[in-house]
Amino acid sequence: MTQKPFPYFERKEELRRTAAEVLKENGGMTIHELHKKLRKFNVPTTTCLAAVLSKDPRKRFKSENKIWHTL
């Protein structure tokens, strides 16, 4: 039996676009704050969210001292 991927994982580009917009508006946020703002995507943990952002093929996101920013 194969396991169906989480819904957020199928919409990861939309998640990244939304995260970039939120970070631009706020100037930078911790992963916990960002996770709360992106609640509609139902990302199960902050670790999952950080993985999706750090694996961005366009390299839009960077974490410095636990604060996430867009480049």
What is residue 5's three-state secondary structure? coil
5-14 tens-digit pLDDT: 677 778 999 9
User: What residues pair up with 67 in beta bridges, in sequence order?
Assistant: 64
22-56 tens-digit pLDDT: 999 999 999 999 999 999 999 999 999 999 999 99
Between the alpha carbon of residue 22 and those of residues 4, 5, 17, 26, 46, the distances in Å are 28, 25, 9, 6, 16
pLDDT for residue 51: 95
CA distance 29 to 8: 20
pLDDT for residue 10: 84
pLDDT for residue 18: 96
Q: Can you give the residue ranges of every domain in the chain?
A: 13-57
In this prediction the pTM is 0.87
